[in-house]
Amino acid sequence: MIEYSPFWETLKESAETTYTLINNHHISSATIDKLRKNKPLNTTTLNDLCRILNCSLNDIARYIPSDEDQTL
Q: Domain limits of the chain?
A: 2-63
Q: Give the pLDDT of residue 27.
A: 98
Q: Measured at the alpha carbon of residue 40, what is the angle toward residues 32 and 53, in degrees to the nearest 5?
A: 45
First and final C-alpha spacing in the chain: 13
From first to last of its 72 residues, the chain has per-residue pLDDT tens of: 899 999 999 999 999 999 999 999 999 999 999 999 999 999 999 999 999 999 999 999 999 988 877 777
**Any alpha helices (H) in the chain, and if so which ranges?**
5-13, 18-23, 29-36, 43-53
pTM beyond 0.95, yes or no: no
pLDDT at 66: 83
Matching CATH number, 2-63, of 1.10.3120, 3.40.50, 1.10.260, 1.20.120 = 1.10.260
C-alpha torsion angle, residues 34, 38, 42, 47 (rounded to 10): 90
